[in-house]
Amino acid sequence: MLKIGFTIYSNRIDEFAAVARQAEAVGFDRVWVGEHIVAPLASAIHTDKDIHQGRVRPPVVASDDRFYDLWTMIGVIAASTTKLKIATGVVVMPYRHPLVTARACATAHALAKGRFSLGVAAGWLEAEFDALGVPFNKRGALTDEGLAILRKSLAGGVISNDGPHYPFPPLEVSPEPVDVPIIVGGISPAAVARAAAVGDGWVAPKLPFEQLLSIRERITKLRQGAGRGSEPFEYHMHMPSADIEVAQRWEDAGFEHGVVVFDDIHPEDPRETPLDAKLSRLEETAKRLGLSPP
């Protein structure tokens, strides 16, 4: 049966724990926590073309949005649940030194007792890169070198790096291996190749079903060509709606993981909706999707 997770980041921060506990109780498999560190003015980013309709779309990140520190949210959710998996959807890899991300991953892994996965991507919001002093045109190279360092850091023991972006002498993040799966996000050719080359999985935004199948086939071929075809790999697809028909179609196509956007569970503004109503809607959605309590 398709395992279904959901995104939690459109909720009020003081309700994250209750929403996560309810999601665990009614059978959701995983909670996805996203991030933006700053919210540039909408006018500064209202230039992104919708790839499906060829038109300017409303800004994904607007100045009136509310964002919270991703790692703090993960700590709250990990301490409030016992079975619910937790994933970042996604950490923008170039925003932090990879050793900082490695330390955060090791901490999240310990707090969640192995339930944590790291979703990563190279990022897309140029104004946010500018605000953080990170060169937007180097985001791909920063991501690739950062992921290599992250892998070595989490493998345990002493490591060093002589790469051009993050050189450092011998040091240690963890004395023993830390088993954190890395799920790569993005649909660009570079992102798809990155997922196939170094990822333990791929997370996709809402895409037409046929495009998902095409990208899955491309990743499969790239992984086979790299000798990784026999290694475990997860595909996490954002569902177009929280409907059993969608879930069944994906399951029939061989997908094992789906992601429901919380706004599709509760289309009213989650920040203005009473907590009891949100918890009830989570239960109703789980039943509609055929989920079973753990």
Which residues on adjacent β-strands are paired with residue 236?
Answer: 203, 257
CA distances from 71 to 6, 80, 118, 148, 158 (A): 17, 14, 11, 21, 25
CA distances from 158 to 73, 90, 148, 181 (A): 30, 27, 14, 20
pTM of this structure: 0.92
User: What pLDDT is stored for residue 253 in this prediction?
Assistant: 96
Chain mean pLDDT for the chain: 90
Q: Write down the residue that tokens 């989490």 correspond to.
A: 154
Q: Write down the residue that tokens 């109780």 correspond to.
A: 25
Average pLDDT, stretch 217-228? 97
pLDDT per residue as tens digits for the range 247-266: 999 999 999 999 999 988 98
Banded pLDDT at 61 (limits 50, 70, 90): low
Higher-pLDDT residue of 65 and 1 is 1
Q: Which of 148-152, 219-223, 265-269 has the lowest mean pLDDT?
A: 265-269
Average pLDDT, stretch 268-291? 90
Banded pLDDT at 11 (limits 50, 70, 90): confident
CB-based contacts of 122, cutoff 8 Å, min separation 6: 92, 93, 94, 139, 140, 142, 143, 186, 190, 191, 194
Average pLDDT, stretch 197-210? 96
pLDDT of 45 > 60? The answer is no
pLDDT of 271 > 80? The answer is no
Nearest 10 degrees: Cα torsion 227, 183, 138, 130: 180
CB-based contacts of 245, cutoff 8 Å, min separation 6: none
pLDDT of 53 > 90? The answer is no
